[in-house]
A and B are shown apart, each in its own frame.
Chain A
Amino acid sequence: MSSIAASSTIGGSGSAEPSGVKKTSKRPKYSKFTQQELPACKPILTPRWVILTFLVAGVVFIPLGVICLFASQGVVEIVDRYDTDCVPETSRNNKVAYIQGAGDKICNRTIMVNKTMKHPVYIYYQLENFYQNHRRYVKSRNDAQLRSPREEHDVKTCAPEDNVDGQPIVPCGLVAWSLFNDTYRFSRNNQQLPVNKKGISWKSDKENKFGKNVFPKHFQKGAPIGGGALDPNKSLSEQEDLIVWMRTAALPTFRKLYGKIETDLKSGDTITVLLENNYNTYSFNGEKKLVLSTTSWLGGRNDFLGIAYLTVGSICLFLAVTFAVLYLVKPRQLGDPSYLSWNRSAGGLQ
């Protein structure tokens, strides 16, 4: 018996002993909650539910897919890639040198409108292989500085585009510094098509993130010069190109709004674009495209969603039929124990 003593424990060993005085009953109070008997809905995947679910999904998805596809198809989109074409033949071996070299880089592009485009026609520039979502890039800005002139000196996250000659750059950081600076001028039948550059940015950005009394300072003053320059007399909240640019894109292929054409473009119209090809995408083999597009209620042109809806909807209908057939052909055997894995090895268990 002595062996047990070593492991005996203490701790008010007698505390639960009835201590003479009659205590109140420790009987647990009955409630549906404590007894885990709450009224519950216990659905299981019966054939009816499974077939119904697939049917509903199919019936909802296919029309939705059709609608989406129609919306997408209704969008007229003209894409014109110009990065290579706007480099003179002679310089095509070394596009980087060309784009970094001095001189006029005017380029004329002609765009055919095959389908009538109702106004507003949105003008986008599309960059590819441009990692606006790179962490260094994304972080290289200072939101406080953009909002308020008092925070002008707050450039700590902006290196190396933080100071020039000891003076803080406003707006600092790589994002602003690499501002896209190709420009487009449109004309139809030698008639200038005005480009509305107002209202291309999100309202919240314009009003709350970019200060009305913050003006560019020392911007693009230090070497090297990255992208476009800013008008030092216009406050940041009015520099919508910058605001659009500074809302960083999610993916390396992205479009950004350049402006709007407020007139309809008719089918058969020929649009001439006078293009200033300034922006360097050549060093990283990035493509540049000019996009004119109308929008639908769903946005721009992308057939993916409609096709995907249709595909999944059809699969659902197909599955509904398949399951219906399966259920008919192979009715479930109740309580068939052969499914239970442990029954197979029962011999070893005894």
Chain B
Amino acid sequence: MAGGGTKRRKRRLQLSKLYTLTCTKACFKPDHSQIGGPGFSRVVYCNEPDSPEIDSMNYCDNYVRTTKYTLATFLPKSLFEQFRRVANFYFLVTGILSFTPLAPYTAASAIAPLLFVIGATMVKEGVEDWRRKKQDIEVNNRKVKVHRGDGNFDSREWKTLSIGDIVKVEKNEFFPADLVLLSSSYEDAICYVETMNLDGETNLKVKQGLEVTSSLRDDNFKGFEAFVKCEDPNANLYSFVGTMELKGAKYPLSPQQLLLRDSKLRNTDFIFGAVIFTGHDTKVIQNSTGPPSKRSMIEKKMDKIIYLMFFMVVTMAFIGSVIFGVTTRDDFKNGVMKRWYLRPDSSSIFFDPKRAPMAAFYHFLTAVMLYSYFIPISLYVSIEIVKVLQSIFINQDIHMYYEEADKPARARTSNLNEELGQVDTILSDKTGTLTCNSMEFIKCSVAGTAYGRGVTEVEMAMGRRKGSFLVFQSNEDDVEYSKEAVAEESTVKGFNFRDERIMNGNWVTETHADVIQKFFRLLAVCHTVIPEVDEDTEKISYEAESPDEAAFVIAARELGFEFFNRTQTTISVRELDLVTGKRIERLYKVLNVLEFNSTRKRMSVIVQDEDGKLLLLCKGADNVMFERLSKNGREFEEETRDHVNEYADAGLRTLILAYRELDENEYKVFNERISEAKSSVSADREALIEEVTEMVEKDFILLGATAVEDKLQNGVPDCIDKLAQAGIKIWVLTGDKMETAINIGFSCSLLRQDMKQIIINLETPEIHLLEKTGEKNAIAKASKENVLSQIINGKSQLKYSELAIGCASVICCRSSPKQKALVTRLVKSGNGKTTLAIGDGANDVGMLQEADIGVGISGVEGMQAVMSSDIAIAQFRYLERLLLVHGHWCYRRISTMICYFFYKNITFGFTLFLYEAYTTFSSTPAYNDWFLSLYNVFFSSLPVIALGVFDQDVSARYCLKFPLLYQEGVQNVLFSWRRILGWMFNGFYSAVIIFFLCKSSLQSQAYNHDGKTLGREVLGGTMYTCIVWVVNLQMALAISYFTLIQHIVIWGSIVVWYFFIAVYGELPPRISTDAYRVFVEALAPSLSYWVITLFVVVSTLMPYFIYSAVQMRFFPMYHGMIQWLRYEGQCNDPEYCDMVRQRSIRPTTVGFTARLEAKKRSVRRSESDS
């Protein structure tokens, strides 16, 4: 598959011998005795598709379903979901009640909008699920080669796989199911696996098949039969117990033989495996939990508003019922009928004066139904439609499209859009998010001399800081990008080293040429990289377990030590001979590899060079290496330490290189003991090996140190600066060590020299003391996991969070994925504000799911983070646009939309209530049934949807230019209770004005020139017309952004109303009932109808207009101020603009703007001092 075009040569290798720590012989462990017992009952017949036992076992197939519904469950399940919403349930109840005589309107008019709304939501659910289904189909129809008997392999879909099949997986393919590794392209059946999708670890893992099966190739599968017994499906990724019976002999199986679905084959051409678990039995799917469903703060608040509305409805209904009950009772007293025309003597229970309390109760139900127009039935569906459309805009934003990776932004869930506008704290992963996860060899220190003139991003940032502010403020972008471009063009990927002193073979003339030689030789030899030679170009590429290893080998190659071949026991390097000055090929015999792991923090190889000398080459972290130096190996220690510190300051990753020579005897002893330890079967095998390696890894002679740059992603400092100006706090959570993290903090302008730093770690456990020093301008660094977990679990949690939240920026180092999630929870619960987590790796999944919004970077580290994120973007810098533009807009749109929704429904619903007061609360609706039910659907819905989708207070350019605008969302000024209640109040008084003006204008006098007086339908029609005008014009007043769409929907809604009433009136009276010809005959020909409409509409809108004019002029909100700026054209005057911006920006503490400000301050201070 990959690289199929070019031929590559690679020797067959038995790399297992190299690995001291990971590859060991399989052995029976106590667990294996449980096979066959409960929980360990699985039986697999490998390569026997026709075996009769297969049918009887009934294991699930390899089809994986991630959809929410199936065809059969869609209807009941989605309906259930719908009616779980309290408002929808309420409408369902009123809908059912409308079939009873209680209903004030016809059942059809009540049910139709509900059906429409539910139907629309279900269609949306269906479409979304269909997308998931398509993804499932894609996954399930991927092809894999399956053994078809006689040694032939056919391509088949994943879903057709069944237990016991033999599959052949090729390089860079995913495993289709959980497999037992039989053999690989390597002689000893090892293979490399990338498990990023499972655990987020980017380094490759080595797996090894059983020795007995390692010789199997395509042809020998004919007649191969094996019988596997193993544990039942479970979710534990790191355990596996089983036995394989092959030709009568039993062999133990361990996790070492298990290849998990969704992990990827790397650095290995192909493997053969037997399918053990399929489909939903696989460990990764057993592990999967549905993503937590997140709801935005606005939506939660909206629920509260709905409850408030319910309360109002109930209150109004109750008041009405009491009055109704009293008047009904009074209608028939002592045999005297009061309102005789109602026949109170012979009445049904609903109006029976003798059973007035009961009648009042039934009336209560009727009234609750009638006032249901208070609750906007279409609110949920409108919001959902709006959010889907908003998501489309996010997906379509060309400014968030990453050209290089061909990745646009993708809003995976649409229900958090507005939450993007309210983010208070960003919790960011470091690697892959702020940094590229591409390592570049940039500097080194050899024999106490520092080499390398490459400029790091950090140094650029430093230079920017030191340089003149004015120059950089205006065009720092250009500087940054141009430098980057230069750097990228000129060099090999992973290599950014420039120093004429040692490049191009010049190093031979340096004073310590021998040390330099050893230094680069060590880089060329001490690794686990596999070279691949392109046969056509003879170019060598490397496949490494981690990017820094590749950087080292590449550096060695570029400097003349070209590692070009690896066999199972040797490494071949082309290098310059110091004596002859020619390039020669050298062969190093690799005797042992002691791999890197996080506790050892070092990696060593033991090699024998051509002279027969035994060398132990080692590279590792400074703290473990310096203490292992021999007395005579510390020649350059001081200088190297200085350099290492300097590099760390510049934000580079450093490693110390050292070596020692071993004498024959020492090696012999070591080799015996390590072999002994390796073959040991006891549980403390690892400890034994550790002990043995500890013995030889000492008395090193120091060579020097390397510095690798962890490159910052494009535009990160810029983006952080903008976000900081917007008042968003940024926390960095990283697994890196403290120094690296601090360095990255400096390079992203999160930290500044003049800030007070508070470092919390094991060395200073008195956190309480720190409370006192917890000043505002401070950095807290919670370092070392145990302190963090103490903080999280312990009593000091509250104080810690108080301290941390008071800090300008917080960096948490050495945090595990779980701790990241816990910190996220801490922040979330600490201040109750919205948190956004951004990360790219599977180790960020916990954090992404815990945070209010999870943003996944769809970068290089696989899709795990993206799959569990709510929104995926390709680069960190797009966060700026995502939050400041889309977040702000969406927040504004949704909050205004919800406020407006309640406004328009109160305006409408309250006129119903007011009319009730004139019908002794008998629940006569003021309007025709269909006017009632279509209000929310036709005459007021489209403008509000257009508002939710298209409205812009200020354009994207100004959103970015004035980041503080974002605080409107963080402070939640647009959806505060004050604003919500303000809009509700607007609704109430609009209703009052409309009703009373209409009622007073349309009294009992003749209504037209013909002397006709009005009936219910005329009052209703006039009032309804006024309401349609008022709510639509109110919309036009409230927004300040009119595209053609706004014009169409706003004026269109009004036109639609006239059209509707005219057409509906022409329908036969059987259908149109009292609206029959009411418009053409009664309303339209009567001048008073038009005069009243004009008057009522203008009068109703007047108070809001006055309020709005005063507010806009004298108390503008921030967006209002920007609108003024734009309107008055002062935005083109940069100085003026800057003045406004500076005046309105609160002093930020983070970001380079703040840094420049601080610099200015200090300059000023020093000036005034002198």
Q: Which residues of A contact B (CB under 8 A)?
A: 1-17, 20, 23, 25-30, 34-47, 50, 53, 57, 61, 64, 68, 77, 96, 120, 122, 124, 126, 130-131, 133-138, 143-144, 147, 159-161, 174, 177-178, 200, 202-204, 208-209, 226-227, 247-257, 260, 280, 283-284, 293, 295-302, 304-305, 308-309, 312, 315-316, 319, 323, 326-327, 330, 332, 334-337, 339-343, 346, 349-350
Contact = CB atoms under 8 A, between A and B. Distances in A.
Nearest to A136: B351
Contact of A299 (B198, B408, B845, B1007): B1007
B1087 A297 contact: yes
Contacts of B2: 20
Given A14-B262, A335-B1144, A134 B347 contact: no
B1099 A335 contact: no
Nearest to A67: B1091
A13 B865 CA distance: 10
Nearest to A11: B66
B301 to A, nearest CB: 18
A27 B1121 CA distance: 35
A305 B1001 contact: yes
* Nearest 8 pairs of A and B residues by beta carbon: A300-B1005, A300-B1006, A335-B1140, A178-B341, A12-B139, A250-B1019, A122-B1011, A3-B818
B1043 interface: yes
B201 A1 contact: yes
Interface stretch (B221-229, B393-401, B611-619, B984-992): B393-401
Interface stretch (B497-505, B699-707, B1104-1112): B1104-1112
A335 B1125 contact: yes
Most A CB contacts (10 A, CB to CB) among B238, B264, B339, B843 go to B339
Interface in B997-1019: 997, 999-1019
- Counting chain B CB atoms within 10 Å of each CB, the highest count among A10, A17, A42, A312 belongs to A10
B745 interface: no
A249 B398 contact: no
Contact of A250 (B398, B952, B1014, B1044): B1014
Contacts of A4: 199-200, 816-818, 842-843, 845-846
Nearest to B843: A4
A8 B867 CA distance: 9
What range describes how many residues of B lie at the interface? 35 or more
A252 B264 CA distance: 80
Given A208-B1068, A299-B1005, 5 more contacts: A12-B136, A14-B197, A36-B956, A40-B1043, A202-B1012
Contact of B284 (A8, A77, A161, A204): A8
Interface in B933-977: 950, 952, 955-956, 964, 967, 970-971, 973
Contacts, number: 404
B483 interface: no
A122 B1006 contact: yes
The listed residue with most B CB atoms (<10 A of its CB), out of A36, A38, A46, A131, is: A36
A10 B64 contact: yes
11 contacts: A4-B845, A5-B236, A14-B197, A38-B1043, A126-B1004, A131-B339, A226-B340, A249-B1015, A295-B1010, A332-B1116, A337-B1144
B776 A209 contact: no
B287 A350 contact: no
Contacts of A96: 336
Contacts of A136: 342, 347, 350-351, 922
Given A299-B1008, A299-B1009, A334-B1124, A41 B923 contact: no
A11 B135 contact: yes
Contacts of B816: 1, 3-4
B822 to A, nearest CB: 10
B842 A14 contact: no
Interface in B1055-1110: 1068-1070, 1073, 1076-1077, 1081-1082, 1086-1088, 1091-1092, 1094-1095, 1098-1099, 1102, 1105-1106, 1108-1109
A47 B136 CA distance: 59
Nearest to B841: A4
A126 B366 CA distance: 31
B288 A10 contact: yes
B237 interface: yes
A42 B392 CA distance: 24
Contacts of B1016: 133, 138, 248-250
A297 B818 contact: no
A334 B1130 contact: yes
A253 B1019 CA distance: 13
Given A293-B1006, A342-B1146, A6 B808 contact: no
**Which has the most chain B C-beta neighbours within 10 Å: A14, A284, A305, A334?**
A14
B754 interface: no
B34 interface: no
B1109 to A, nearest CB: 4
A230 B547 CA distance: 101
B867 A13 contact: yes
Contact of B287 (A6, A12, A57, A254): A6
B104 A135 contact: yes
Contacts of B393: 34, 36
A330 B1114 CA distance: 9
A341 B1012 contact: no
Contacts of A177: 341
Contacts of A315: 1102
B62 interface: no
B1049 to A, nearest CB: 13
Contact of A9 (B104, B288, B919): B288
Interface in B608-658: none
Interface centre among B1012, B1106, B1141 (most CB of A within 10 A): B1012
Nearest to B132: A11
A24 to B, nearest CB: 9
Interface string B78-100: 00000000000000000000000
A38 to B, nearest CB: 4
A257 B1091 contact: no
A8 B288 contact: yes
A76 to B, nearest CB: 12
A10 B1121 contact: no
A178 B1147 CA distance: 78
Contact of B973 (A16, A135, A341): A341
Most chain B CB atoms below 10 A, which of A131, A161, A301: A131
B370 to A, nearest CB: 10
Given A255-B1005, A300-B1005, A46 B918 contact: no
Contacts of B338: 283-284
A64 B340 CA distance: 44
B382 interface: no
Given A14-B197, A284-B338, A296-B1009, A131 B858 contact: no
Contact of A28 (B401, B920, B1019, B1045): B401
A295 B139 contact: no
Contacts of A53: 1105
B1043 A8 contact: no
Contacts of B237: 2, 5
Question: In the complex, which of the residues A12, A64, A177 has the most CB atoms of chain B within 10 Å of its own CB atom?
Answer: A12
Interface string B330-360: 0000001111111100111011000000000
Contacts of B1015: 247-250
Contacts of A330: 1114
B864 A208 contact: no
A9 B864 CA distance: 7
B250 interface: no
Contacts of B1125: 334-335
B264, B849, B1017, B1099, most chain A CB atoms within 10 A = B1099
A138 B1004 contact: no
Interface in B833-889: 842-843, 845-846, 849, 858, 862-864, 866-868, 889
B340 A16 contact: no
B817 A124 contact: no
A107 B330 CA distance: 31
